[in-house]
Amino acid sequence: MVQGVANWNTETTEEWLQNYVDDWVSFYRKHTEDGNVASYIPILGEANKNHLGISILGSDGLSIRSGDTDISFTIQSISKVFSYIVACMTRGVSYVLDRVDVEPTGEAFNSIMHLEMRNRLEKPFNPLINAGAITVSSMLEGDTSDEKLNPLFELFERILGYRPEINVEVYESERDSSMRNRAIGYYLLETGFLESDLNITLETYFKQCSIEITIDDLAKIGTVLANDGEDPATGEEVIPRQVARLSKALMLTCGMYDASGKFAAYVGVPAKSGVSGGIIAVSPPRVREESLPFKNGCGIGVYGPALDEQGNSIAGIRLLRHIANQWDLSIF
Ligand code: GLN
């Protein structure tokens, strides 16, 4: 019996779900004390570590939002999913697969060690670690970072109905501090992986990480992925089905870095995190039980800048795990 859905299918469903999520957000807010905000990008260190918010949007339009819902934050590594999608859409899936693999590393997001070991196999492990993501940024078409990112902004605009902006302060903070990413970039250059100029590539990567977004945006984008690339609100195919499914497979196996296995086992949905504390999670439609909330699928956006050791929102993961278990959101 799935708990927490006792009043499902009654007139008060929405209110009931809202109260339920409110209760758990205030419970897990205490867990933010167990984590720390990222500070290797100095400006991210200014975030309030006790913030926690969640937005759940069903394919049928049911929206449950709770906690700190109105904060905008930079998308960071969550952008890697969407630059990958754009690269697949503009360059073709096989072109991209030939250059960046689809294997998890079991290592930190900014690991250099594995990149080096993979050299003999001629490509970075996957597009959701920095080495793979920087390679993908180099594949985007255009001579400048703005040209390269234009299709990414267009994709967001098509889904969200507005064009998000780059947070220039965060961009500059990352650009001026990211020595590790520069090292990865030089390594990629030396080994011949980069498809465009190193500085333009890094500028593209830092800018895409600095796109400002909200949890409602992540939930909305999540509904598109939940429906294999089709926006359930309009019926329009925004992302080709094959690309959406490939991206979800990568999110499931690599999206939470070296905690991806645990996340798949304990939460069981494709997801992607970023160091600013955002997570996008995707629950596809389920056929099993009539009475489950969000049975037709949903997208979930979470924000909680206190991170665990792997760089994932500590309270965000616990909250997601709780809700996913209670509502049987797992894809398995
Ligand atoms: N911009 C960050 C970096 O490259 C993104 C990392 C992340 O969100 N995990 O270091």
Which among 209, 231, 247 is the end of a domain? 209
Give which of 208, 258, 238 is closest to 299, Cα–Cα: 238
227 and 139 within one domain: no
pLDDT digits (tens, 9 = 90+) for 103-141: 888 777 777 766 655 555 578 889 999 999 999 999 999
Q: What's the domain count of the chain? A: 2
In a domain, 1, yes or no: no
233 and 118 within one domain: no
CATH code for the domain in which residue 273 is found: 3.40.710.10
pLDDT digits (tens, 9 = 90+) for 16-73: 999 999 999 999 999 999 999 998 889 999 999 999 999 999 999 999 999 999 999 9
Distances from the Cα of 260 to the Cα of 83, 100, 226, 268, 271, angstroms: 20, 19, 19, 10, 9
Cβ of 252: how many Cβ atoms within 10 Å? 22
**pTM (2 d.p.):** 0.94
191 and 127 within one domain: yes
Which among 185, 209, 233 is the end of a domain? 209
Q: What is the mean pLDDT of the chain?
A: 92
Ligand 1, atom 6: closest residue by C-alpha = 77
281 close to 248: Cβ distance less than 8 angstroms: no
86 and 62 within one domain: no
Ligand 1, atom 2: closest residue by C-alpha = 76
308 and 220 within one domain: yes
Residue 47 alpha carbon to ligand 1 centre in Å: 15
Beta strand residue intervals within the chain, DSSP E:
53-58, 63-67, 73-74, 212-213, 230-231, 236-237, 271-273, 278-283, 298-303
| pLDDT above 80 (res 281) | yes
Average pLDDT estimate for 141-162 = 98
Pocket of ligand 1 (CB under 6 A): 76-77, 109-110, 130, 174, 181, 209, 274-275, 311
In a domain, 7, yes or no: no
In a domain, 98, yes or no: yes
CA angle 95, 150, 283 (to 5 degrees): 70
**Range of 38's domain?**
13-71+214-327
231 and 190 within one domain: no
Instruction: Identify the pLDDT of residue 11.
Output: 46
Q: List, by residue number, the catalytic residues.
A: 77, 80, 205, 257, 275
Pocket test for ligand 1, best of 78, 209, 310 (most atoms within 8 A of CB): 209
292 close to 325: Cβ distance less than 8 angstroms: no
pLDDT digits (tens, 9 = 90+) for 303-315: 999 999 999 999 9
